[in-house]
Amino acid sequence: MRTYHDIPRPEFTPERITELKADEVFVFGSNLAGMHGGGIAGFRDSEIAPLFSAATAVENICLPESFTR
């Protein structure tokens, strides 16, 4: 666990996000037609994780644990 704004936070995102705290934001991307599943979503975690390596040190970003392997 880590603390951000005096609130304990998990180090990694859960497998399934079912709720958000009042100060949390879930970011989800799609194209302008509302479709998703292409682009970066078509890659394995091991292929895209290096793109996010610098983000693991950012205090208010929580990524999947598989991005650190």
3-state helix/strand/coil string of the chain: CEEECCEEECCCCCCCCCCCCCCCCCCCCCCCCCCCCCHHHHCCHHHHHHHHHHHHHCCCCCCCHHHHC
6-53 pLDDT per residue, tens: 888 888 888 888 998 888 888 776 677 777 766 777 788 888 888 888
Whether this model's pTM surpasses 0.85: no
Tell me which residue range forms the domain holding 41: 2-68
Q: What is the structure's pLDDT at 64?
A: 84
Q: What is the structure's pLDDT at 13?
A: 83
In total, how many domains does the chain have? 1
